[in-house]
C-alpha cells in the first residue's frame, strides 16, 4: 500500500501512499461490511431473543449477499462516472483550445502566475506549453480542472474489491451466531469480535492514511457500536421486549 522513495545522497527518505484507489475501496467495503450486518444482527437479536439463531443467520447472509451486490454496483457506477466525466471534460478542453486559443493561453499564464512564476518566466512557459496542443490540454486538465487520467479498468476493479471486502467484513459479526445456541449469546460474542476487528481496522486505516492511529481506532469502534445499539434498541422497542 505504501512505498519508499530512494533519497539522493544527504536527503531523507520519503514515504508516500500508493494504490490509493484500492485502499479506498477496501476501506469502503470493510467499513460498511463490519457495521451494517452487525447492526442488522443486533437488531434481529433484540427482536427474536426467545428463538434460535437461525433467523439471524438467514437474514444476515441475505443482507451480506444483497449488500455486496449493491456496494459493488455502486463502486462500478462511480468508476464509470469518473471515466465518462473525464472524457467529456477532455473533449470540451480540446474544443476550447481549438476555438478560443487566446482565452486558453491567458488561463495558462494565470495558472503559472499563481504557481509563483515571474511574468517573464510565465510568458515563456506559456509559449512552450501551448506549442503542443496535447500537452496544452493535459496541463489544463490537471491544473485548471484538477483531473487525473482515470484507469478505464477501475470500474470493474472497484466493484470486485468493494463487494469482496463487504462480504468479508459482514461475515465477521455473523460468524458468532453459527456457534451459539441463542441470539443473546450470539450477540455477546458478535459484539466482542466485531469491536475488536473495528479497533484493529480503524487503527491500521488511520496509520495508512497518516491520521492519529488511536483516535481512528476508537472512532471506528464507536460508530459500529452506536449503529448496533440503535438497531437493537429499536427492535426491542417495536417488539415490546
Per-residue DSSP letters for 184-216? HHHHHHHHHHHHHHHHHHHHHHHHHTTS-HHHH
Q: Which residues of 198-213 are buried (b: 16+ CB within 10 A; e: fewer)?
A: bbebbbebbebeeeeb
Q: How many domains does the chain have?
A: 1
For 144-167, the pLDDT digits (tens) are 888 888 888 888 988 999 999 999
Q: Quick check: is 12 in a domain?
A: no
pLDDT at 70: 93
Please give the grid coordinates belonging to residue 182. Answer: 441463542
Q: Quick check: is 149 in a domain?
A: yes
Q: Quick check: is 216 in a domain?
A: yes
| Gap between the Cα atoms of 214 and 22, Å rounded | 23
pLDDT at 241: 53
Q: Quick check: is 1 in a domain?
A: no
> Lowest-pLDDT range, 44-58, 64-78, 83-97, 123-137?
44-58
Q: Quick check: is 158 in a domain?
A: yes
Q: Quick check: is 38 in a domain?
A: yes
Q: Quick check: is 95 in a domain?
A: yes
**How remote is the C-alpha of 3 from its chain's centroid?**
20
Provide the domain limits for residue 92: 20-44+54-239
Give the residue with greater pLDDT, 236 vs 28: 28
| Gap between the Cα atoms of 227 and 97, Å rounded | 51
pLDDT at 162: 92
| Gap between the Cα atoms of 73 and 46, Å rounded | 31
For 178-189, the pLDDT digits (tens) are 888 888 888 888
> Lowest-pLDDT range, 71-75, 157-161, 236-240?
236-240
For 198-232, the pLDDT digits (tens) are 888 888 777 776 778 888 888 878 877 777 777 66
Residue 41: is its pLDDT beyond 90?
no
- The mean pLDDT value of the chain amounts to 80
pLDDT at 140: 86
Q: Quick check: is 137 in a domain?
A: yes
Amino acid at each position: 500500500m505504501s512505498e519508499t522513495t530512494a533519497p539522493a545522497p544527504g536527503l531523507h527518505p520519503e514515504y508516500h501512499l500508493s494504490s490509493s484507489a484500492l485502499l479506498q475501496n477496501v476501506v469502503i467495503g470493510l467499513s460498511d461490511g463490519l457495521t451494517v450486518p452487525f447492526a442488522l444482527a443486533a437488531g434481529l437479536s433484540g427482536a427474536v431473543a426467545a428463538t434460535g439463531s437461525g433467523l439471524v443467520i438467514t437474514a444476515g447472509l441475505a443482507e451480506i449477499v444483497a449488500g455486496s451486490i449493491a456496494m459493488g454496483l455502486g463502486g462500478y457506477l462511480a468508476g464509470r462516472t469518473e471515466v465518462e466525466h473525464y472524457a467529456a471534460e477532455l473533449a470540451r478542453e480540446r474544443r476550447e483550445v481549438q476555438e478560443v486559443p487566446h482565452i486558453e493561453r491567458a488561463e495558462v499564464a494565470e495558472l503559472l502566475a499563481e504557481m509563483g512564476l515571474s511574468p517573464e518566466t510565465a510568458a515563456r512557459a506559456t509559449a512552450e506549453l501551448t506549442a503542443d496542443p496535447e500537452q496544452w490540454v493535459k496541463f489544463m486538465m490537471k491544473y485548471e480542472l484538477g483531473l487525473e487520467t482515470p484507469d478505464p479498468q477501475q470500474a470493474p476493479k472497484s466493484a470486485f474489491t468493494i463487494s469482496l471486502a463487504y462480504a468479508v467484513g459482514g461475515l465477521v459479526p455473523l460468524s458468532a451466531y453459527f456457534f451459539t445456541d441463542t441470539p443473546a449469546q450470539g450477540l455477546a460474542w458478535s459484539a466482542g469480535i466485531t469491536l475488536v476487528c473495528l479497533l484493529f481496522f480503524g487503527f491500521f486505516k488511520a496509520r495508512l492514511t497518516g491520521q492519529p492511529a488511536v483516535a481512528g481506532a476508537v472512532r471506528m469502534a464507536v460508530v459500529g457500536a452506536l449503529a448496533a445499539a440503535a438497531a437493537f434498541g429499536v427492535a426491542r422497542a417495536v417488539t415490546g421486549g
